[in-house]
Amino acid sequence: MEPMWQEPARKDEALASAQAKAAFLLTMRARGIQDLGVLRALELVPREIFVPHRYADLARRQLALPLRCGQTLPEPWLAARMIEALAPSPNCRVLEIGTGSGYATALLARLAREVISVERFQSLAIEAGARLARLAIDNAGVTWGDGLTIGPAAGPFDRIIVQGALAEIPASLAAALAPDGVLVTARPDPAAEARRQVVRMTRNEAGDLDETVICPCRLQAILPGEARAL
């Protein structure tokens, strides 16, 4: 039998966790996240599982956090804003380039029918897959590979999200996007090359991709090729 003092301690811990989650969601709303599906996914997916253990107490802060292999987990607001711009629906098939810790993958899995995520670092891919399994997410899978060389057999995808910056959209990604699909990525800001901005891309009548600027960002460049680990 457990000591009686443990029950109040657990209640206090649960209350603190609920308050932190409520504050996290209020911050998201205050910063402009309005889509109810995205907000619900943010509520259900515990970000602390997806951050390095030493940063667990910062998981619900609006901070980008370092990952292994020199990668970065973007601040939660940016992850949410990109997914909101992507606008996945329950019948969508989504391709994600740059899995990282798997946090955005888990959010996408709450909103789409299927998510295929590609990560160039093998160690990150393995760890992200384990986190998704821990949450019993079975409609998202993580693949180790070069997300910039997706073969035509993998598509088409209703939505493609690139968790990083691209100077140019690879022909393989453009070919994998469904005719009425949406692609969200970061691109160099034409007004200042050192800056980057998230853009939403859709096809026009000529079949070319038109851009709509969403917000500024500091996402890292997406690199080609595969990398086992650092």
Cβ count within 10 A of residue 202: 13
pLDDT at 35: 97
Q: Is the pLDDT of residue 1 over 60?
A: no
Domain range holding 48?
6-217
CATH of the domain at 121: 3.40.50.150
Average pLDDT over residues 205-212: 92
- Percent of the chain whose pLDDT exceeds 90: 77
Q: In angstroms, what is the C-alpha Rg of the chain?
A: 18
How many structural domains does the chain have? Answer: 1
Q: What is the pLDDT of residues 180-202, one digit of tens each?
A: 999 999 999 888 777 999 999 99
Burial class (CB in 10 A: 0-12, 13-18, 19+), 219: buried
Q: Report CA dihedral (146, 147, 150, 155) to the nearest 10 degrees.
A: 150
Write out pLDDT tens, residues 157-180: 999 999 999 999 999 999 999 999
Position 125 in a domain: yes
pLDDT tens by residue, 65-109: 999 999 999 999 999 999 999 999 999 999 999 999 999 999 999
CB half-sphere exposure, 115, CA atoms < 13 A? 32
With 60 as the cut, is the pLDDT of residue 37 above it? yes
pLDDT given at position 170 = 92
Mean pLDDT within 44-62 = 93
Distance between CA atoms of 146 and 229, rounded to whole angstroms? 14
pLDDT band at 14; cut points 50, 70, 90: low
The two three-digit tokens of residue 192, written as one number? 């200042």
Would 122 be classed as within a structural domain? yes
Residue 228 maps to a domain: no
pLDDT bucket at 155, cuts 50 / 70 / 90 = confident
Q: How does the average pLDDT of the chain come out, rounded?
A: 91
- Assigned domain for 79 exists: yes
- Angle between helix axes 36-44 and 76-86 (nearest 10 degrees) is 140
Residue 69 is assigned to a structural domain of this protein: yes
Would 227 be classed as within a structural domain? no
- Domain-located, residue 224: no
Q: Tell me, what's the pLDDT at 112?
A: 98
pTM given for the model: 0.91
| Helix-, strand-, coil-residue percentages of the chain, each rounded to 5 | 40, 30, 30
Asked if the model's pLDDT at residue 27 lies above 80, the reply is yes
Which pLDDT score is estimated for 230? 61
pLDDT, residue 197, reads 97
pLDDT at residue 150 in the model: 86
In a domain, 37, yes or no: yes
Type of residue at 120: R
Name the residue with tokens 């590609």: 118
